[in-house]
Structure 1
Amino acid sequence: MHDPVTSFVVSVFSAPSAALIMAGAILALAIGLIFHSGHFEFGPLKDDLQRRADLLAELRGSDPQQAFAEAFPTLDKRLGGAAYPTLELGWATYRGQLAETADGRLASSIHAADAFEHADGPARTLEWWANLLVAIGLVITFMGIVAALTEAVDAMQRQGGAGMQTALMGLLAVAATKFWTSIAGVLGSIVLRLVARRRRKAIEAYEAHFFALLDGCVRFAPPEKVMLEQLAVLARIEAALASAPKVQPAAPGLA
């Protein structure tokens, strides 16, 4: 008699096709994860980035910075509304860096890429599942080997020394099929990582396009640049004062 866990494992893996069915289930899970992530994570993020880029692209004209400043109240509501969490938080950070200039335009002390964190959530989700699929495949493989060893020991005990060779041959034949789950786990992991890499590259391209449009709508004014401009203004003021004619003080009147 075996313990309940061992008996359950043996009953599950006693069928020759059990490991192949589980391997197919692992591959089906990988494909399902790709479609699920694409529909609920990658798709909404891509659409949100494209929507934001389209809003800024509509401002193209002779002076996009002036158009952006004039339409900022409306754009702020549309860019800061309900959106992908990373983009919503990034816009709040970037918006806090905007300041109005003397000519009515907006200036920022940082680039858009520095305010927005990289939105690679969909890719990281697939990579997490890729690691898990390998672990699942290995666990199922070891469970199958345990079942095969248990069946081989039982066969040896029933048949004695005469059936030892037959039991060992059966053990090797059954154990070989159990490795299909590990192979399926590795294949599923590779597919998920390839899809994750491709989607990360796509998101980076969408982000770069959006950030370029956003940087083109504001004036970049880092603290160092502002300080140099102020020093240049002070130098011109000093030069103007030095070149101005000196006014002689009036002579005091005679008492």
Structure 2
Amino acid sequence: MHDPITSLVVTVFSAPSAALIMAGAILALAVGLIFQSGHFEFAPLKDDLRRRADLLSDLPGTDRQKAFAEAFPAIDKRLSGTAHPTLELGWAAYRGQLAQTGDERLASSIHAVDAFEHADGPARTLEWWANLLVAIGLVITFMGIVAALTEAVDAMQRQGGAGMQTALMGLLAVAATKFWTSIAGVLGSIVLRLVARRRRKAIESLEAHFFALLDGCVRFAPPEKVMLEQLAVLSRIEAALAGSARVQPAAPSLA
């Protein structure tokens, strides 16, 4: 008699095709994850990035910075709407760095890429599942080996020494088929990682385009640049004051 868990494992894996069916299920799970992630994560994020880039590309006129400043309330409303959490939080952080300039334009102390975190959620989801598929394949393989060993021991006990060779041959034949689940897990992991890499590159390309457009709509004014400009203004003021002091006429004498 075996414990209930061992008996269940032996019952499940006693069928010769059980491991192959489970291997097929692992591969089907990998394909399903690709379509599920593409429909619910990758496609919405890609469309959102394209809409944001199109919004900036459609600004009228040749002076993009002035057009962006004039249309900023409407642009802010659209970019602050419901979107991917990373893009929504990134825009909130970037908007907080914008300041009005004297020539009716907007300036930012940081680049857009520094305000937005990388939106690689779809790729990270597939990579997480890729690691899990390998673990699932290994667990099923070991469970199959446990079932095969249990059946072999039972056969040896029933048949004695005469049936030992037959039991060992059956053990090897059954155990060999169980490794198909590990192979399926590794193959599924490879496919998921390849798809994740491709989707990450696509998102990075769209992000770079959007960030470049956004940086082109504002004036980049880091603290160091502002400080240097202020020092230059102070130097000109000091020079002007020194020049006016030299040309100022002397006060008339009372003698």
Report TM bin, short chain.
over 0.9
After superposition, residues 201-212 of structure 1 pair within 5 angstroms as: 201-212=201-212
Matching residue of 1:160: 160
The CA distance in 1 between the partners of 2:21 and 2:74, in whole Å, is 56
Amino acid in the other structure paired with 2:98: L
Partner of 1:47: 47
Question: 1:150 maps to what in 2?
Answer: 150
Deviation string 1:99-154 (CA, Å, 9 cap, x unpaired) is: 00000000000000000000011111000000000000000000000000011011
* TM-aligned CA deviation for residue 209 of structure 1: 0.1
Q: Give, in whole Å, the separation in 1 of the partners of 2:254 and 2:76.
A: 67
TM-score normalised to structure 2 length? 0.97
Q: Deviations over 1:86-108 (max 9, x none)?
A: 00000000000000000000000
SS at match of 2:78: helix
Q: Deviations over 1:207-248 (max 9, x none)?
A: 000000000000000000011111111122222233335323
CA displacement 1:4-51 (0-9 Å, x = unmatched) = 101100000000000000000000000000000000001111010000
Residue matched to 2:65: 65
- Alpha-carbon distance in structure 2 between the residues aligned to 1:35 and 1:247: 82
How much does 1:56 deviate?
0.2
* Offset, 1:74: 0.2
Residues 193 and 133 (structure 1), Cα distance of their counterparts in 2 relative to 1, 3 Å cut: same
Seq. identity, %:
85
RMSD: 1.1
Could you tell me which residue of structure 1 aligns to residue 248 of structure 2? 247
TM-score, scaled relative to structure 1: 0.97
In structure 2, what is the Cα distance between the partners aligned to 1:107 and 1:252?
54
Residue 151 of structure 1 aligns to which amino acid in structure 2?
Answer: E
Which stretches in structure 2 are left out of the alignment for 5+ residues?
none
SS of match in other structure, 1:177: helix
Q: Which amino acid aligns with 1:209?
A: H
Q: Which residue of 2 aligns with 1:26?
A: 26
Question: How far apart are the structure 2 equivalents of 1:193 and 1:61?
Answer: 44
1: CA distance, partners of 2:250 / 2:72: 54
Partner of 1:193: 193
Structure 1 residue runs of 5 or longer lacking an equivalent are none
Give SS of 1:99's match.
strand
User: How do residues 61-140 of structure 1 correspond to structure 2 at under 5 angstroms?
Assistant: 61-140=61-140
User: Which deviations, in whole Å up to 9, do the C-alpha atoms of 1:154-175 show, x marking residues without a partner?
Assistant: 1111111111000000000000
Question: Secondary structure in 1 aligned to 2:247?
Answer: coil
Distance, in Å, in 2 between the alignment partners of 1:31 and 1:54 is: 32
CA distance in 2, matches of 1:221, 1:210: 19
- The alpha-carbon deviation at position 60 of structure 1 amounts to 5.3
* Aligned partner letter, 2:192: L
How many residue pairs align between the two structures? 254
Question: Hey, what's the Cα distance between the residues in 1 that align with 2:227 and 2:198?
Answer: 43
